[in-house]
Amino acid sequence: MKKEKKRLTILNQFFYPDYAATGQLLYSLSKSLYKKGLKINVLTSFPGYSYVKKQNIIDENDRSYKIKRFSISKLLILKRSPKLIKALIFCLNIFIRLLFYNNKKELILYTSEPLFLPVFGYFLYKLKSLNFIIILYDLYPEILIDLKILGKNNMIIKAWQYLNELTYEKSEEIIVLSKDMKNKILNNYKINPKKIKIIPSWADTEKIYPIPRSRNWFIKKHQINNKFIILYSGNQGRLHDLETLINAAKFLKNDRNILFLFIGDGLQNKKLKEFVTSNNLDNCKFLPYQKLIDLKFSLSCADLGIVSIREDSIGCVAPSKLYGYLAAGKPLAVISPKNSYLKDLITKKELGKWFENGNFKDLVSFIIELKNSKDLQKQLKANCLNYLKENASIEIISENYFKVIKKYL
């Protein structure tokens, strides 16, 4: 008699084919866990800002792998609502659906997308005894405090942190992406350190791998051949230091052989474009998010990949774009605070070079050095590919997740 697969329910507002990095990562993780013998149930929304229209989505559903989507904005007024309102609607929809769940033997995996989704897990645990674990991609409300959007004594912040502490206490385990995130949680909450597991992001090398320039249609399509390309790919949000990067572009504005390519969108996108226009920077180009199937081409067009976090966002976020660059074999320039885990990773593993926030002149020097040294490019490419293969492939990371999850099923 065939043994029945155990069941994991994954909750996340975004899921492939959406552009959001969390959704794309969870898609590859869920497929890998399914292959390891888990029954997978995904509760998510229809794509919020992907290129795929709702009516064209065909989910992979069978008895052991199911994706259930629901619309957040059926009404016209909700389609125009802020993201925060849509996130709240998603959480309420999830809460109602799980409130009528009958299967208490499965495990619920909450993510921080939306940012307050884990708190709903606490209330469902109290009402339904639904065991759960949490993946924290971003730390809220700590981000709001560090960016000085709200003060630490604000009543909303205090209530949110109180609910977080209750949630963390009842969760089976908490998965974070870096030691900085773990340390920040331990500094702000009375949580058993053994409950927090560090599992970094990853890249699926079957979907992202190096493409030679001679076979890269992306380069030809956008007419960026014969350029040394500095690539920032992904979310241009408030937690990322893009000021250091754009100042480097300004410094190199007269070098016609160097191009700064920005792929993606976010809160800083408009500001960046205004800076480029006001300073007449012909060495900058902006493109929208690319399809997941095309990422291997867009990432492979780069000669140098940029990863950055702001000085005041340490411990709040761990950029997943880093692993996409590694899978494409691209040297890294990392801009971060000096006490960030990113500095240790890049310098110790020799994946590129680290720069402190604001130090655009040294970044410029490294760009020129890398541009003029084929040997350095070749060595760093080999280091990046080897590190990913040995430490952050989907096979390695999914096995780490499987070891955590199987204990509670």
Read off the pLDDT of residues 110-160 as tens digits, 9 standing for 90 and up.
999 888 899 999 999 999 888 999 999 999 999 999 988 999 999 999 999
Question: In this structure, which amino acid lies at residue 11?
Answer: L
Give the Cα separation of 158 and 141 in Å (integer). 9
Identify the weakest region by mean pLDDT among 17-21, 26-30, 69-73, 77-81.
77-81
Mean of per-residue pLDDT scores for the chain? 90
Q: Give the per-residue SS3 of the chain.
A: CCCCCEEEEEECCCCCCCCCHHHHHHHHHHHHHHHCCEEEEEEEECCCCCCCCHHHCCCCCCCCEEEEEECCCCCHHHHCCCHHHHHHHHHHHHHHHHHCCCCCCCEEEEECCCCCHHHHHHHHHHHHCCCEEEEECECCCHHHHHCCCCCCCCHHHHHHHHHHHHHHHHCCCEEECCHHHHHHHHHHCCCCHHHEEECCCCECCCCCCCCCHHHCHHHHHCCCCCCEEEEEECCCCCCCCCHHHHHHHHHCCCCCCEEEEEECCCCCHHHHHHHHHHCCCCCEEEECCCCHHHHHHHHHCCCEEEEECCHHHCCCECCCHHHHHHHCCCCEEEEECCCCHHHHHHHHCCCEEEEECCCHHHHHHHHHHHHCCHHHHHHHHHHHHHHHHHHCEHHHHHHHHHHHHHHHC
Predicted structure pTM score = 0.89
Read off the pLDDT of residues 142-152 as tens digits, 9 standing for 90 and up.
999 998 899 99
Please determine, for residue 87, whether its predicted confidence score (pLDDT) is greater than 60. yes
- Structure tokens given for 282: 């012909």
Higher pLDDT, 215 or 77: 215
Q: Residue 103: pLDDT band by 50, 70, 90 thresholds?
A: low
Read off the pLDDT of residues 3-27 as tens digits, 9 standing for 90 and up.
555 689 999 988 887 777 888 889 8
Read off the pLDDT of residues 163-211 as tens digits, 9 standing for 90 and up.
999 999 999 999 999 999 999 999 999 999 999 999 999 999 999 999 9
Q: Residue 77: pLDDT band by 50, 70, 90 thresholds?
A: very low
Radius of gyration of the chain (CA): 21
Please determine, for residue 58, whether its predicted confidence score (pLDDT) is greater than 60. no
Give the Cα separation of 334 and 348 in Å (integer). 13
Contact 91, 64 (CB under 8 A): no
Please determine, for residue 256, whether its predicted confidence score (pLDDT) is greater than 70. yes
Identify the weakest region by mean pLDDT among 69-73, 190-194, 216-220.
69-73
- Structure tokens given for 294: 């095309």
Read off the pLDDT of residues 384-407 as tens digits, 9 standing for 90 and up.
999 999 999 999 999 999 999 999
Higher pLDDT, 278 or 116: 278
For the residues 308-319, what does the mean pLDDT come to? Answer: 91
